[in-house]
Amino acid sequence: MDCIHVTGIRAYGYTGYLPEEQVLGQWFEVDVKLWLDVSTAGKTDAIEDTLDYRSVINLVKHLITTSKFALIEKLIATIADSILAKCDRLTQVQVILTKPAAPIPDFGGKISLEITRSRV
């Protein structure tokens, strides 16, 4: 199966367990892998025969900026489920969500969560 990678989708959102995360917000970064058959588009050179990934980028940004969850687990599941629901051509989606600046004392690293969802 073919796979489109979209990396570095950044948006400012208000998901977080701590109250200040839901008030002050923070940056999130998302990478997605989108599994689908692109063989027809490879022959026709027509965007109608593939997935216009601009719609996925806009969907991810919209979900990050408008959602307000306590856990990134809920945000990433919402992103993956929404992408699958919107894009009929997809057979599977993988989402990696990163919090570049986790509010943990004496920790300068990143927190990332990865999930894969398949069409049932």
Active site residues: 99
Q: Which residues lie closer than 8 Å to 87 by C-beta, 6 or more apart?
A: 34, 36, 51, 55, 56
Maximal C-alpha separation, the chain: 54
Q: Which residues lie closer than 8 Å to 34 by C-beta, 6 or more apart?
A: 3, 4, 5, 6, 51, 53, 56, 83, 87, 90, 93
How far apart are the C-alpha atoms of 88 and 91, rounded to whole Å?
Answer: 8
